[in-house]
Structure 1
């Protein structure tokens, strides 16, 4: 975590290095600073996908809040892909990407994003689940996608807001949650800490 960033006075601290989450918070006009935290993201034994993302989102927010010089509300978030009882994390290799994407081909999977707000002794967490249906894929398509560099740091090996959008036949639920931050639910959490939206607009 960048200590200088944590010392910045602003409405909110975002405990994430994700450029997608920064873009989404900016989209709704929130004033915030960024202070990512580095945590072990290994799922616990027998941990459900719901509990996994909720735990990590809250842990990120709590870790950042504890390091703040000037205490301010902190927002943490985590996203994972769930398919047939498996938590599909970020790929380690081309083969991992191809295997993951071919599992999802022609199938419907769930994307779970948790958001946690920590403000003093108060904390609030919500989890949003969105169903995503994929088009038929081929191993050649998956390998070509790996070579673009996009899947490398993406849960489930794809980015719906990027080149991976061509894989998606339809979604049922929150698009912004699949990108990394469910905006309607995040706005509700921010109101609990009296943080205003629409403060920085074009």
Structure 2
């Protein structure tokens, strides 16, 4: 249904994330992948959704002069928001361990923003999911980092991986948003085109 609505458009996903690519395939959307490197730096005064909105928009900027009316560019950003601080992707084992130790036994928010853009318009949608971890042991955290190397994931974890299966007590909101894309909101916006 969505694919026929989008038949006249060239959908561009500006993400190297296999998870985001998989979601678009699951929606039966024909798309191409174009990734441009962007320094994901944001002003210090931004909080929560302001950060992901800013970064999703920032990722669309390198494409501005290339887009036509028939192009639809999709860029996205996800952070873990915990104790009034953004947890992005960890640089190494120690940083990943520290992040998971902070999240252990506590509740945090996963925030994702999506920027949908072409030559004539830009729309940003976002979603927040509340996730609660059980109290993780140091051995569990070490096992997960050593075996899954979650250095490409905000907050140092993938909910779909081992740590999510054994460590997450409750989730309030969209599971897919935690994986990295609020698919239901993206679908709604694409259906409006």
TM-score, normalised on structure 2?
0.89
Aligned length: 185
TM superposition shift of 1:10: 6.0
Structure 1 vs Structure 2 CA RMSD? 1.8
Q: Name the counterpart of 2:71.
A: 72
The alignment status of 1:97 with 2:96, answered yes or no, reads yes
Deviates most, 146-155 or 108-117:
146-155
Distance 1:116 1:133, change over 3 A: same
TM superposition shift of 1:65: 4.2
Distance 1:21 1:87, change over 3 A: same
Q: Name the counterpart of 1:168.
A: 168
Equivalent residue runs for 1:1-202 within 5 Å: 11-68=10-67, 72-165=71-164, 166-193=166-193
TM superposition shift of 1:63: 2.2
Q: Distance in 2 between the 1:136 and 1:66 partners?
A: 49
> Is this contact kept in 2: 1:65–1:73, CA < 8 A?
no
Q: Distance in 2 between the 1:71 and 1:183 partners?
A: 22
Distance 1:120 1:192, change over 3 A: farther
Task: List alignment gaps of at least 5 residues for structure 1.
Answer: 1-8, 194-202
Q: Name the counterpart of 1:4.
A: none
After TM superposition, the runs of 4+ consecutive aligned structure 1 residues lying more than 4 A away are 68-71
TM superposition shift of 1:69: 7.9
